[in-house]
Amino acid sequence: MSSNQTTREDDTKVPLLEYSSSTILTKSMVEEQQDQDQSLSRRVWIESKKLWRIVGPAIFSRIASYSMFVVSQAFAGHLGDLELAGLSIASSVICGFDFGLLLGMASALETLCGQAYGAKKYYMLGVYLQRSWIVLFFCGILTLPLYIFATPILKLLGQPEDVAQLSGVVAFSFIPLHFSFAFQFPLQRFLQSQLKNNVIAWVNLCALVIHLTLSWLFVFKLQFGLLGTSLILNISWWLIVIGLFGYTVFGGCPETWTGFSFEAFSGLWEFLKLSASSGVMLCLENWYYRILIVMTGNLQNAKIAVDALSICMNINGWEMMIPLAFFAGTGVRVANELGAGNGKGAKFATIVSVTQSIVIGIFFWILILFFHNEISYIFTNSQVVLEAVHKLSILLAFTVLLNSVQPILSGVAVGSGWQSYVAYINLGCYYLLGVPLGFAMGWIFHFGVMGIWAGMIFGGTAIQTVILAIITARCDWEKEAEKASLHVDKWSKRSHI
């Protein structure tokens, strides 16, 4: 028998001088519970600090970059209803389809860079960044016809002649913006995986200030009109690329950026497959609401319906930057913990992130229910459009609420490397269930734009969120940590072949 065991036995034989057994038991249980509560609260506090170190600047930078689109649409909306519809279709449909694909492909870096950083294999982050640039640039070339032939594509999709014509002109002017995505998105994920989110925030703030100034000057003062707004949008997004690139290559990341390397051209096929999986996963989500706008363009009074829906999508997109920041933060935190072999840490990071995002989502759900009219005045003074927005506000509020959960669960998938698996879920929920239900509600049951949107929300987004929640809850995190370690080793070895 060990001395510790003897001590414990002797302790039990000591007479209870001042306390009854029930008193000591109760006191012990209370102290133990207090210790557990303190431990849990401390763990939540520590994890929250790590999470918000990513999420806080990410919210700011994403709102700043998205606000450039919102500002441009606000200027266009005050030029006229046709101008608002033209810019909305060009940015939401043409640019939005491309945006979703390249953003999704760049999210492969959240898995690779996040896990490599957690495993302290810093050199690989720079190699991954360069591979992503190569892959996304060539993908950008392949999707270039989308911008060149935007007008006939939109006509084929049933858009009104005047809207399709104007949208095609704006889309063609967005070609420089299109290629900025291929460089900006990988740079953002490269930096955020190293927790350098403050840099991204400051660069986006500077670009937003310049964007506001130039938009006011070119549109209101110099009367450059709609093309002036699209020109300024190109300039502003390339300023973000230049700022992030300059920080990266001129000493901001000495451990992870060691210069351009020929290793970036090795293992491109494997990298392309992971990027494609990530691209399909996220673009299926991103395209979903672009399809909603296209379907709405085929309704009667399409111009008013598209304007109202575009305003709702802009408000939703603006608020969506917060869940997307949690998406990024969760992806990085989960990838870091899995890369370090800490499965329990990844699970706890997921719980904290989902809980906090839901609380914020409830706040904005209430805010939109009560103040949607006031927010709509940012985009238009047209009373007809404002009334249409008012009718859609309840669907907008519930979309915001669902989006406070779904992107965070997608972030878990990205951090864990489940992109291919989730892509099939998205395909089934969104396109085999949501779109047909939206079509039926809109045309067969004659509920119009409200029917299309409601069918797509409750038929696609809600079901997908439930499935992702079940998968995340049933995940074996220790096994995922083992797989992540093997994954990092495998990619590191391939890079040196």
Residue 35's pLDDT band, with cuts at 50, 70 and 90, is: very low
Higher pLDDT, 216 or 379: 216
Residue 97's pLDDT band, with cuts at 50, 70 and 90, is: confident
**pLDDT at 142 > cutoff 80:** yes
Look at residue 302 in the predicted model and tell me its pLDDT. 66
Query: Cα separation of 235 and 210, whole Å?
Result: 9
The region that residue 446 occupies, defined by phi over 0 for left and psi between -120 and 50 for alpha, beta otherwise, is: left
Q: Where are the domains of the chain?
A: 54-292+302-309+317-495
pLDDT in tens, 417-461: 777 778 788 888 888 888 888 888 888 887 877 888 888 888 888
Look at residue 404 in the predicted model and tell me its pLDDT. 87
pTM of this prediction?
0.72
Higher pLDDT, 460 or 141: 141
Query: Cα separation of 174 and 17, whole Å?
Result: 84
Q: Each residue of 309-327: b (16+ CB within 10 Å) or e? A: bbbbbbbbbbbbbbbbbbb
Higher pLDDT, 209 or 215: 209
Contacts 24+ apart (CB under 8 A), 37-45: 43/348, 44/352
pLDDT in tens, 301-356: 666 777 787 788 778 877 888 888 888 888 888 888 887 888 888 889 999 999 99
Residue 208's pLDDT band, with cuts at 50, 70 and 90, is: very high
Mean pLDDT across the stretch 224-241?
Answer: 87
Query: Cα separation of 173 and 230, whole Å?
Result: 7
